[in-house]
Structure 1
């Protein structure tokens, strides 16, 4: 009868332990994300905050009300988005100068339209809600559109990815499958040795 393959067993058990560890970590991340989403949900009832002059993702005031004084529109970008009625089209984001040339300025979702053409808005005060932005950490979604645009869909916590629980299940399944394959291979090895 063949002995237990020591090196193979150690490798498999180490891999399974790593996968279980990753699954537990994802469960902890799921708890953290749920707490964060609860904070975001409560943000709409909080007082308005100053728009971040140098936005950082850690502790960003997402879903808080704020105001931006867009001194000058330096450029536009159109991204796929929805209006307040849920229709698909283009959200128009202005890159605004907010001070004497210092700092990154502000990203302002001025409104929505069916066309991707740049609006003619030159700037001004905008009230809105701070939302995540894939390129600039934060952006302000205007509560009232400007330049003849329609109102964009308000930011929602439903748009914040929260798939840590699914990842945890995935890692635990990988660990279980690895163990099953290992035990099947071990059984075949032992069975083959017995017949010999």
Structure 2
């Protein structure tokens, strides 16, 4: 029975150490991804929306919104870091193909900008929860201020903290198990 306990605890500690190592590998991957996104700002513009498995985030682009299909008013910031609302138009860009999400600008009003009916917009591609990517207009449309441009520095990168957490769990488990073994050996040695 005791040998089985040793294997179970050793296995659990090995899994925790493995998860810590995996998080360190993810940290390296995420740092490379963020660096490639930072480099994207200097690359030539790409067509939008671009059908790709990986959206061309943080690249300059332009799109022609033929018709606004729907609106989303979300928490957002302007270029000065003030909190308010980003106004995202879900657009039709052609008879076929995917729609486009365009952040037309920022305001303090929750439903401003809804009189915008579309047109050509230039900006930077950022992440979007509905389409995977959205064009953030370089200049605010419909009298709105420009929203804060998307930045790869805003991407969360908590992998080092997660790795430390897993290594700490492994260390704590090892210490607790060693203390339990020590206590058991003292109890067995006691008359």
Normalising by structure 1, report the TM-score.
0.93
Matched, 1:136 2:126: no
1:111-190 equivalent positions in 2, closer than 5 A: 111-119=105-113, 120-190=115-185
Cα distance in structure 2, aligned partners of 1:151 and 1:47: 22
Find 1:43's aligned residue among 18, 40, 43. 40
| 1:86 corresponds to | 81
Cα distance in structure 1, aligned partners of 2:26 and 2:83: 32
SS in 2 for 1:31: helix
Matched, 1:13 2:10: yes
SS in 2 for 1:34: helix
Does structure 1 conserve the Cα–Cα contact (< 8 Å) formed by 2:49 and 2:63? Answer: no
Aligned length: 190
Does structure 2 conserve the Cα–Cα contact (< 8 Å) formed by 1:111 and 1:149? Answer: yes
| 2:23 corresponds to | 26
Taking only aligned residues, the RMSD between alpha carbons, in angstroms, comes to 1.3
Q: Deviations over 1:47-103 (max 9, x none)?
A: 0001134454xx321100001110000010011011111111000000010110x23
Does structure 2 conserve the Cα–Cα contact (< 8 Å) formed by 1:131 and 1:141? Answer: yes
Moved more, 72-81 or 153-162: 153-162
Matched, 1:70 2:65: yes
User: Where do 5+ consecutive residues of structure 2 fail to align?
Assistant: none
* Closer, same or farther: CA 99–53 of 1 in aligned 2, 3 Å: farther
Q: Which runs of 4+ in 1 moved over 2 A?
A: 52-56
Cα distance in structure 2, aligned partners of 1:166 and 1:135: 29
Normalising by structure 2, report the TM-score.
0.96
User: Where do 5+ consecutive residues of structure 1 fail to align?
Assistant: none
